[in-house]
Amino acid sequence: MTGRYKKLIFLIPPATLLAGCVSSSQVNKEVAKSLEENPELLFKVIEKNPEKFFAAVNKATQSERARLTEESSKKERELWLAHIESPMEPKIRTDEAIRGAKNAPLQIVIYSDFQCSFCMRGAKTVKQLMEKYEGKVQVVYKHLPLPMHPQAMIAAKYYEGLRKQNPKLAFQFHDRLFKRPDKIEKGETYLRGIAKILGADLKKLEKDIQSTSVQERIDHDVSEAKEFGFNGTPAFVVNGVPLTGAQPLERFDELIQLLKEKKNLKI
């Protein structure tokens, strides 16, 4: 009998032990039965050895988390390879506001929500990518305002209204919102204040944010995102390959490396 089972021997009914040799499976059954009938026995053991108990729990938790992360990464890599062969095709409109270098070899399309804290993290990572691969990246911002965020839709309309005036205004608006995402809860007064600071034509902006064309543009982005299976934010399409969530720079680098290997990406 192993040391592990010796520690649990007190949980097994004496009659079982006296009956003869006991298999490991039988020991497990008897221990489980005893614990179900007398859970206070386990509590007593934990009380006597709390440090060992919590150390074991933490070790098991870390091991399981590592296993799940590895499994998730493997599945995502398989998904990447499938989309490298059959890429997603976001619609890039002729009047699209593109950050970075137009016609750059690396294209990142973002589906985002201005009231989402994870989108703020995603925006920081994209900024790091643009700095790391300077001159090799083009970024297109698209909208996926979630129903749970009451100010996300109006913020998207302000972005589009500013884009119609000048794409640079839209970019500046984007960056200011993500610097202080908590302030967006103040609503349209706050958004209008940013537009005023940026020097936008407020009368034209007011007209544009209420226009059908702006609403239809946002609706198209939302429909496209859902067509791709994106239900949360942020979501990215990198040269036709999906990457979801506020992933760290390293995950983007892994995908870029895979694109270099499989598609001869020049970056």
Is the same domain home to 99 and 174? yes
Question: What pLDDT does 217 receive?
Answer: 98
Is the same domain home to 44 and 69? yes
Phi, psi at residue 244, to the nearest 5°?
-110, 150
**What is the full DSSP assignment across 130-186?**
HHHTTTSEEEEEEE---TT-TTHHHHHHHHHHHHHH-HHHHHHHHHHHHHSGGGGGG
Question: What pLDDT does 71 receive?
Answer: 63
Is the same domain home to 147 and 233? yes
Question: What pLDDT does 7 receive?
Answer: 47
Is the same domain home to 134 and 36? no
Over residues 145-204, the pLDDT tens digits come to 999 999 999 999 999 999 999 999 999 999 999 998 889 999 999 999 999 999 999 999
Question: What pLDDT does 26 receive?
Answer: 62
- At 245, the amino acid letter reads G
Question: What pLDDT does 132 receive?
Answer: 97
Question: What pLDDT does 182 receive?
Answer: 86
Question: What pLDDT does 18 receive?
Answer: 46
Is the same domain home to 40 and 75? yes
Question: What pLDDT does 12 receive?
Answer: 46
Is the same domain home to 125 and 233? yes
Q: Is the dihedral of CA 121, 122, 124, 125 positive or negative?
A: positive
Alpha-helix runs per DSSP H in 14-96: 14-18, 24-37, 40-48, 50-85
Is the same domain home to 120 and 37? no
pLDDT higher at 168 or 102: 168
Of 8-12, 46-50, 241-245, 249-253, which range is least confident?
A: 8-12
Given a contact cutoff of 8 angstroms between Cβ atoms, the answer to whether 237 and 119 are in contact is no
Neighbouring-strand partners of residue 242? 237
Q: Which domain holds residue 38?
A: 3-83
Is the same domain home to 197 and 226? yes
Is the same domain home to 40 and 148? no
Question: What pLDDT does 10 receive?
Answer: 47
Conformation bin of residue 23: beta by default, left when phi > 0, alpha when psi is -120 to 50: beta
Question: What pLDDT does 42 receive?
Answer: 73
Sheet holding 98-100, edge to edge: 98-100, 137-143, 106-112, 235-238, 241-244
Of the residues 41, 64, 83, the one at which a domain ends? 83
Of the residues 33, 53, 83, the one at which a domain ends? 83
Of the residues 83, 103, 122, the one at which a domain ends? 83
Over residues 62-95, the pLDDT tens digits come to 765 666 556 667 788 899 999 999 999 999 999 9
Q: How far apart are CA 173 and CA 196, in angstroms?
A: 10
Question: What pLDDT does 8 receive?
Answer: 47
pLDDT category, 13, cuts 50, 70, 90?
A: low
pLDDT category, 4, cuts 50, 70, 90?
A: very low
Is the same domain home to 167 and 224? yes
31, 2, 6, 37: which is closest to 16 by C-alpha?
31
pLDDT category, 48, cuts 50, 70, 90?
A: confident
Segment (H or E) for 124: helix 117-132
Over residues 221-259, the pLDDT tens digits come to 999 999 999 999 999 999 999 999 999 999 999 999 999
Q: Which pTM does this prediction carry?
A: 0.75
Is the same domain home to 92 and 132? yes
The structural domain count of the chain equals: 2
Question: What pLDDT does 70 receive?
Answer: 60
Phi, psi at residue 43, to the nearest 5°?
-60, -40
CATH of the domain at 150: 3.40.30.10
Q: Is the dihedral of CA 160, 233, 224, 136 positive or negative?
A: positive
221, 232, 228, 207: which is closest to 148 by C-alpha?
232
- Token reading at 229: 């299976």
Is the same domain home to 115 and 225? yes
- Token reading at 167: 């794409």
Over residues 15-36, the pLDDT tens digits come to 444 444 545 566 667 767 776 7
Question: What pLDDT does 72 receive?
Answer: 62
pLDDT higher at 23 or 109: 109
Question: What pLDDT does 253 receive?
Answer: 97
- Token reading at 249: 């720079």
For 139, residues 6+ apart whose C-beta sits below 8 A from its C-beta are: 98, 99, 100, 107, 108, 109, 110, 126, 130
- Token reading at 236: 């990215």
